[in-house]
Chain A
Amino acid sequence: MSTAIDMSLFGGADPIFTIADEVFSAMIDGEPGLLSEWFGEAPAIADPMYAWVDVDGVAPGRVLLSTERETALQITRALLEMGPDEVVGDADFVDALGEVANVVGGNVKALVPDPGALTLPQVTHERPPTSPENLLHELALAWRGRLLVISLWSLP
């Protein structure tokens, strides 16, 4: 992602929020209104899950989703329309979360000039290595009251 996304183009509305809102309302919740910006200081994530995609090209970048494992499980259940008693298999969980990162990342990619190709998503417990000086944008969200952070990074 060659330059930071120029937020002034979007008339005050954070485009990352708009993208996340569309993904959640269309595919996860089936209705709008369950996702909002996190109010106040976002807490540390105690039992984290990370899902990300990278955008290749002249100036590569990363779209990273960070959340509690429990939240990631709930997202998976909602996405796959699973009942509260159904067991979420590890493979389903990784695939579902990766797909959310893929759809969010794919739409973020469209915001930047000359994007490259999108990599396949990765899902891990360990945070991928990132340096604070590479942070382009960070958005803390509340989904059904649970924390979900979307961050954009330039890659060295």
Chain B
Amino acid sequence: MRALVIDDSRTMRRIIVGVLRSLGFDTLEAGDGREALDVLESGIPVDLACIDWNMPVMNGLEFVLAVRENRAWRGLTLMMVTTESEHNQIVRALAAGAHEYVIKPFTPDAIRDKLQLLGLVELEESA
């Protein structure tokens, strides 16, 4: 499984990459939506994109819209990871085509839980 982590903060990318790697993902990074589209357009297969909202050049919402317009990337799971936490913002992201949404601050468990919901990580026995 390969994930693309898209955030203009190197710190945040590093944190998310750390969580994803511990869950068994290979990872790629991009600092904004445009760079992320370049990665996808290069043809590397990507299963999951973790997307910040507020980024320069192309923000996360614009990236989601661009991905959903392209049939080639139909199988890509789109998960927002962002500080935008107002109800209407979340609705906007879902309407644009995001599949899931993690509000910052998050714990590693929160990411794992969401990826289990998406079927990208195997459920473990709880307790």
B interface, size bucket: 10 to 19
The answer to whether B105 and A26 have CB atoms under 8 Å apart is yes
User: CB-defined interface of A67-106 with B at 8 Å, one 1/0 digit per residue?
Assistant: 0000000000001110000000001100110110011011
Q: How far is the CA of A81 from the CA of B12 in the complex (A)?
A: 12
Q: Output the least CB separation between A102 and chain B (Å).
A: 6
B residues near A117, Cβ cutoff 8 Å: 54
Q: How far is the CA of A22 from the CA of B11 in the complex (A)?
A: 18
User: CB-defined interface of A103-139 with B at 8 Å, one 1/0 digit per residue?
Assistant: 1011101100001011010000000000000000000
With A105-B83, A106-B85, A110-B86 given, is the CB distance from A80 to B11 under 8 Å?
yes
Task: Tell me the residues in window 1-28 of chain B with beta carbons closer than 8 Å to chain A beta carbons.
Answer: 8-12, 14-15, 18
With A79-B11, A99-B11, A102-B9 given, is the CB distance from A118 to B105 under 8 Å?
no
User: Within 8 Å of chain B (Cβ to Cβ): is A27?
Assistant: yes
Interface majority SS on B: helix, strand, loop or mixed? loop
Task: Tell me the residues in window 57-87 of chain B with beta carbons closer than 8 Å to chain A beta carbons.
Answer: 82-86
With A92-B11, A106-B85 given, is the CB distance from A23 to B105 under 8 Å?
yes
With A79-B11, A79-B15, A99-B12 given, is the CB distance from A22 to B83 under 8 Å?
no
The answer to whether A95 and B15 have CB atoms under 8 Å apart is no
